[in-house]
């Protein structure tokens, strides 16, 4: 079986044999791409002449499926198929010009990352530090109704727009709750939703008082960088209102926050253990924090839980 480096060379040298004839003259590259939490992946890029927008196919996942040489043809066919599917989604981005602020204003948003875990990822990017988190600003593009493409905003692009940080933040705050509406689900119902595909009740819409003996999942519709909802203006206060009591906040991943009502039988170290066990099982790029937070009505803001491990 090929080593990983041999696999990369094999893909680069042979992938065009599995693509339509119009890709015969394409440029094929494998580049290192820094993803969230400074996770570096090998991305396959196939570019036709005069076409800028192209999906990046990350190759680690394909190599992990190989067991012997008989898999090589099937793997290349799968890579080619995934690339062509991605090109259909990216078709409307061909010729897209991000330099016009007025056309981009309605497409800017943000998501949160751990600032310490993302030194490389955030280099030259526009972000604000909020405690241990980075509020990283992005452009989001609807991919033909099949989800969104996200691209972090650089300082150079913001300078080209000629706008201030306040103007960027104001546009992002307006767009996020509309394009990525928040959802609050019971963890039990959310688990059933994942198993059955049936929608679960969004308690933010119902406004009913919640049960204090349950855990809840706070995210956005679609779970696209869903932990970002923690920064939506007034949202945490709204959760406090319908929960009827103070609560702990577990940054379960970049996709979701877990809300745990405060009860006398819950100990902070138990929540810390839950979070650490969860993080140990997560892909590194999905980890948001190793710390537990709490919200109390008296202070009116989210704060690090006293005694939380560093």
| Packing angle, helices 71-90 and 4-14, rounded to 10 | 60
Rounded Cα–Cα distance for residues 239 and 246 (Å): 9
How is residue 219 written in tokens?
Answer: 């995210």
pLDDT tens for each residue of 38-90: 999 999 999 886 656 678 999 999 998 877 666 888 999 999 999 998 888 77
The pLDDT, as a whole number, for residue 16 is: 96
Enter the DSSP assignment of 154: B
Answer whether 282's CB lies under 8 Å from 274's CB.
no
* Interval 148-198: pLDDT, tens: 778 999 999 999 999 999 999 999 999 999 999 999 998 888 887 777 777
At 202, is the secondary structure helix, strand, or coil?
Answer: coil
Rounded CA separation 152/160 (Å): 15
- Residue with the bigger pLDDT between 112 and 272: it is 112
Q: Give the integer Cα–Cα distance in Å for 77 and 56.
A: 16
Total residue count of the chain as it appears in this document: 310
Q: Which pTM was predicted?
A: 0.87
Determine the average pLDDT of the residues in 281-306: 87
Query: Which strand (E) or helix (H) includes residue 82?
Result: helix 71-90
Nearest Cα residue to 146 out of 202, 104, 90: 90
Confidence of residue 310 (pLDDT cuts 50, 70, 90): very low
Mean pLDDT value across residues 113-139: 96
- What's the CA dihedral at 37, 38, 39, 40 to 10 degrees? 160
Please, what is the Cα angle at 203 between 202 and 209, to 5 degrees? 165
Q: Is the pLDDT of residue 211 over 90?
A: no
Confidence label for 144 from pLDDT (cuts 50, 70 and 90): low
């Amino acid at each position: 079986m090929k080593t990983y480096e041999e696999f990369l060379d094999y893909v680069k040298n042979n992938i065009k044999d599995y693509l339509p004839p119009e890709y015969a003259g394409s440029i094929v590259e494998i580049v290192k791409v820094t993803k969230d939490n400074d996770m570096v992946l090998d991305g396959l890029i196939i570019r036709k002449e005069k076409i800028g927008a192209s999906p990046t196919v990350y190759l680690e996942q394909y190599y992990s499926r190989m067991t012997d040489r008989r898999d090589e043809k099937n793997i290349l066919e799968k890579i080619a198929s995934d690339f062509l599917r991605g090109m259909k989604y990216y078709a409307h981005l061909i010729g897209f010009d991000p330099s016009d602020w007025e056309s981009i204003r309605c497409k800017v948003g943000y998501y949160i990352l751990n600032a310490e875990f993302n030194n490389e990822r955030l280099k030259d990017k526009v972000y604000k530090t909020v405690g241990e988190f980075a509020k990283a600003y992005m452009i989001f593009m609807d991919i033909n109704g099949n989800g969104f493409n996200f691209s972090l905003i650089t300082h150079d692009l913001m300078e080209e727009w000629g706008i201030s940080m306040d103007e960027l933040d104001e546009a992002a705050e307006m767009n996020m709750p509309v394009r990525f509406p928040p959802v609050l689900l019971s963890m039990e119902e959310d688990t059933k939703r994942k198993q059955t595909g049936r929608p679960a009740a969004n308690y933010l819409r119902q406004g009913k008082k919640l049960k204090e003996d349950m855990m809840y999942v706070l995210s956005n519709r679609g779970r696209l960088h869903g932990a970002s909802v923690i920064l939506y203006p007034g949202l945490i206060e709204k959760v406090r209102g319908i929960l009827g009591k103070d609560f702990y906040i577990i940054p379960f991943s970049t996709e979701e926050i877990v809300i745990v009502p405060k009860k006398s039988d819950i100990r902070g170290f138990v929540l810390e253990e839950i979070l650490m066990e969860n993080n140990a099982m997560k892909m590194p790029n999905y980890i948001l924090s190793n710390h537990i937070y709490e919200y109390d009505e008296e202070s009116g803001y989210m704060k690090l839980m006293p005694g939380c491990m560093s």
